[in-house]
């Protein structure tokens, strides 16, 4: 169950573009150094700042908010899991404070429905099959 928690936590952090995501500036620089996946390379603005293009596997800001509102609106039977309404924070754009069982419920029951609506099929299907 803890492996499932770690996997889903990494997936959620990447999808929601959190600070804990594995998709960092250094990871993007490594892709550029290796010469692979040119769509993910860092760009520069006219002022010289680094620009990290949004990956296809991340939610757009409006879909991020809609996904978090979907999770917030879920109602579960008594004793089945935590109240997800209290776990969505930061103006409906982040999910925090989940326990291992909550991650299990999210992975098995909620994520398949949430991802189908807010991500392209070629990205949602492999995650749902986990």
- pLDDT band, residue 20 (cuts 50/70/90): confident
Compute the average pLDDT of residues 16-28.
Answer: 81
Strand partners, 25: none
Angle between helices 61-72 and 111-118 (to 10 degrees): 150
Q: What is the pLDDT of residue 34?
A: 94
Domain ranges of the chain: 58-129
- pLDDT band, residue 53 (cuts 50/70/90): confident
pLDDT tens-digit map of 62-99: 988 999 999 988 888 888 888 888 888 878 788 888 88
Query: DSSP labels for the chain?
Result: -HHHHHHHHHHHHHHTT-TT-S--HHHHHHHHHHT--GGGS-EE-TTS-EE-PPPTTSPPHHHHHHHHHHHHT----TTTS--GGGTEETTTTEE----HHHHHHIIIIIHHHHHHHHS-HHHHHHHHH-
- pLDDT band, residue 35 (cuts 50/70/90): very high
Strand partners, 88: 95
pLDDT tens-digit map of 92-117: 788 888 889 998 998 998 888 888 88
**Lowest-confidence range among 20-24, 30-34, 77-81?**
20-24
């Amino acid at each position: 169950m803890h492996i499932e928690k770690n996997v889903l936590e990494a997936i959620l952090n990447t999808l929601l573009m959190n600070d804990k995501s594995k998709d960092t500036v250094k990871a993007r620089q490594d892709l550029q150094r290796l010469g692979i996946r040119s769509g993910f390379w860092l760009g520069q603005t006219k002022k010289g700042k680094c620009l990290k293009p949004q990956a296809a596997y991340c939610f757009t800001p409006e879909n991020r908010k809609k996904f978090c509102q979907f999770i917030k609106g879920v109602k579960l039977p008594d004793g089945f899991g935590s109240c997800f309404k209290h776990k969505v924070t930061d103006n409906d754009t982040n999910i925090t404070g989940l326990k291992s069982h909550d991650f299990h419920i999210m992975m098995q029951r909620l994520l398949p429905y949430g991802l189908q609506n807010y991500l392209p099929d070629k990205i949602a299907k492999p995650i749902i099959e986990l």
